[in-house]
Amino acid sequence: MDVLKDLLFRNAVKTLCEHLSMALSCMVFYAQFWCRHFFKIALCKKYDTEAGCDFVTSKIVTELSVGKIQSARKTFRWYLSIVRDKSLIERNLALAAFADENGFSTVGTKMAVRVYQSVKASHDRKLFAELVAGKTVAVVGNGPYEVGRKLGHEIDAHDIVIRFNNFASQEYEIDYGGRVDIWSKASIDYIDHTRVGKVSSMVIHDRNLECATLKSGYVNAANEMLDKGLLVDYYPQELRESLSAEMRKAPTTGFLMIAALRQSRAKYMDAYGFSFLEDGTSQETYCNVGQTISSNEMKYNVSFHDINFEIAYLKKLFNGGRRLVITADE
């Protein structure tokens, strides 16, 4: 009888251990499953953003630059497996071009590839510098300082007329002119892309279009620019970075343009509508004098730019006038 009891006890202990082992295995399995699940959710939150897409693109571009093609493909496949918003890929020109070559081809990537190739060609060939070489240039800011001065004809008489962001011309041509050869624009939400219809030669952007994830709808807008025969380019990033380091804030598009023209072979530039010409710091533009600037635009200007630094710098550069000679007559 004792032997039987001992045998039954041993079997019961063995069965209990087996059940405990199975339960523990299940707990480990589900713990791993949920850990992977929540880790993936965390990754999605991190990389389902423009910043996350920029990071992945930078990694892929770096890998390609040192010949690690397979590593770049592996990085892309990993990103494709975790990102939920696939439109991010279509909005990043360099990533869209790589994706299109590696099995992820959509109408969106095809459109992005077209823009990427055009932008890269314009930038590599330095077409902005070519466009302004030997030319007289009017750099027309959006400040209200020329209202009533009837300088429109003088402005339009320049070889090249450059305007910025949400410029207006039709109602203010007598003071600000109407021509737009080059449109310099910031990569921010409140820019109205319908102005592209007034531009005759080039649209130049404040940030690197090749590797940055663009705002929703911008690839479509850029394709419309190309359809109109416009060149699409961006400022040299080394120029933007050097100015940002000196200012400790991002330069405005106007400041960037003046710096870019100084490095070009333009004949001279005349500045209009800039606050440094009138000791002004107004946030108004000539088309909204007396109106309150939008809170988004005000927040952007204050947070990202050092207007006082730019005013002091440009006042000294232009020596109290509006003309800056760049290349002397031969």
Determine which helix (DSSP H) or strand (DSSP E) holds 276, and give its type and residue range. none
Q: Identify the pLDDT of residue 34.
A: 47
Q: Identify the pLDDT of residue 328.
A: 58
Domains and CATH numbers, the chain: 8-104 (no CATH), 126-325 (3.90.1480.20)
Q: Identify the pLDDT of residue 37.
A: 43
Which among 210, 208, 253, 203 is positioned nearest to 231, based on CA atoms? 203
> For 137, phi and psi rounded to 5 degrees?
-125, 130
For the chain, residues with pLDDT lower than 50 are 34, 37-42, 289-293, 300, 330
Q: Identify the pLDDT of residue 290.
A: 45
pLDDT in tens, 166-178: 887 678 899 999 9
Q: In the numeric block, which tokens belong to residue 127?
A: 């077409």
- The Cα-based distances of 205 to 10, 46, 188 in angstroms read 79, 27, 10
- DSSP letters for 186-219: -SSTT--GGGGGG-SSEEEESS-TTTSBPPTTHH
Helix (H, G, I), strand (E, B) or coil at 233: strand
pLDDT in tens, 224-237: 889 999 999 999 88
| Helices marked H in 48-176 | 50-65, 69-82, 87-90, 93-101, 107-124, 127-132, 152-156, 173-176
pTM confidence score? 0.78
